[in-house]
Amino acid sequence: MTTAVLTSRVDSPIGPLTLTASDGALIGLTMENQRHVPPASPDWRRDDAWFADVAEQLDAYFAGDLTEFDLPMRLAGTQFQRRVWQGLCTIPYGQTLSYGALATRVGSPGGSRAVGLANGRNPIAVIVPCHRVIGANGSLTGYGGGLERKVDLLELERITLSKALTPGGTVPAGATR
């Protein structure tokens, strides 16, 4: 007997997001036109109610009111991929880390290319923050959801942190939201 996969679709500032869950845990968050998206199945069952907490936390994140997600997740992949995805979750909100530094952090020094490939296969985008990984020279390289979305997510986090650090919580001059 196969376990039911639940699905829902939510709107976001970076476009529609497709959510999937199984056995009480989030197993997927994909963006429209994202690379490496697992194929949908006719067996999937829409259940917007199950995803209410996920949608609420995503709304709070995009509003700049949430910096850390608290959701049951199950990341399915190879042992190495899971190490990389767990490593992504250790990158603090609003900060970035190079592929090489992440490779060292997950016990694979010199494995920046393998980390990049695993990063591109992250099944739970945004919540598992693969957008926080950048090139060694600080460049924004590769993102399964498109570089424009990566820029948008990093900018959202930068602005949110700037507001938190500015007296009175105002957005600094020149910053946009």
Q: Are strands 25-31 and 17-22 parallel, antiparallel or unpaired?
A: antiparallel
Domains of the chain with CATH codes: 5-62 (3.30.160), 79-167 (1.10.10.10)
User: Poorest-confidence range of 67-76, 146-155, 165-174?
Assistant: 165-174
Per-residue pLDDT tens over the stretch 126-164: 999 999 999 888 888 877 787 899 999 999 999 988 887
pTM across the whole model:
0.87
Which token pair is 151?
């820029």
Measured N-to-C along each axis, helices 112-120 and 79-88 cross at an angle, to the nearest 10 degrees, of 80
Average pLDDT over residues 57-64: 96
Q: Which residues contact 106 (CB under 8 A, 6 or more apart)?
A: 80, 83, 84, 86, 87, 115
Distance separating alpha carbons of residues 64 and 67, to the nearest angstrom: 7
Query: What's the sign of the alpha-carbon dihedral 155, 149, 111, 138?
Result: negative
Catalytic residues: 130
Highest mean pLDDT among 31-35, 40-44, 108-112, 162-166: 108-112
- pLDDT of 167: 64
Q: How far apart are CA 128 and CA 25, in angstroms?
A: 14
